[in-house]
Amino acid sequence: MRGHLTEKADVFSFGISALEIVSGRPTSDSNLEGEKMYLLEWAWQLHEKNSIVELADPRLSSDFNQEEFKRIVGIALLCTQTSPLSRLAMSRVVAMLSGDVEVSTVTSRPGYLTDTDWKFDDEYTFMTGLATKGSDMTLYNSSATASQSPVDASKPILPRILGEGS
């Protein structure tokens, strides 16, 4: 993994876990045909077609609450946005799951490695502009700039961040 371990990484993981639970399948399954192979991609395609209920675990009885199902999948898609800055805070996820807050409309496709031109020539570069790529709505606007530092594969990042003996 080349990303940073942050609260927003946990939010992404929560979104993936939610999709795995409601669909009853793993994040990827090479035994499935093309569009169904990757769970997140398949969920997005079904969302775009307004047929997200097809994602439901086939072991569920047909009388499950489809509105609750759609709520969970919508939240999962919001948790898996490409830009960490566009992902929900977990407090907002809890409020949406409990029904205290309406689920926001998902306007941009979630992130997965095949979508972007990932170039890891720098440890701390954040791909600005990804928050709005393919989106009609800007969830976060930042003017922060990234600091550049070359990657040296022989020197792992984590020990430098944590300290050698900590």
User: Cα-flanking dihedrals φ and ψ of residue 67, to 5°?
Assistant: -70, -40
What DSSP element (H or E) covers 74? helix 66-79
Q: Tens digit of pLDDT for each residue in 132-150?
A: 444 343 333 333 344 444 5
* Those residues with Cβ within 8 angstroms of residue 89's Cβ, 6 or more apart along the chain or in another chain: 7, 11
Q: What is the DSSP letter of 46?
A: H
pLDDT of residue 117: 42
Where do the domains of the chain lie? 7-112
Dist. CA 20–CA 120, nearest whole Å: 28
- Which residues sit opposite 81 in a β-bridge? 110
- Range from 66-80, 95-109, 114-128 that averages highest in pLDDT: 66-80
**Reported CATH class of domain 7-112:** mainly alpha
Q: Tens digit of pLDDT for each residue in 3-18?
A: 667 888 899 999 999 9
Residue 102 confidence class, pLDDT cut points 50, 70, 90: very high
Helix, strand, coil abundance in the chain, percent, nearest 5? 40, 0, 55
pLDDT of residue 2: 57
* Those residues with Cβ within 8 angstroms of residue 25's Cβ, 6 or more apart along the chain or in another chain: 39, 57
Kindly tell me if the per-residue pLDDT of 101 is higher than 50. yes
The encoded tokens of residue 27 equal: 């994040």
Dist. CA 20–CA 146, nearest whole Å: 34
Share of the chain above pLDDT 90, in %: 48
Q: How many CB atoms lie within 10 A of CB 14?
A: 18
**Averaged over 54-76, what is the pLDDT?**
91
pTM exceeds cut of 0.75: no
Q: Tens digit of pLDDT for each residue in 72-93?
A: 999 999 999 988 889 999 999 9
pLDDT of residue 34: 85
Residue 161 confidence class, pLDDT cut points 50, 70, 90: low
Q: Tens digit of pLDDT for each residue in 22-54?
A: 999 999 999 998 889 999 999 999 999 999 999
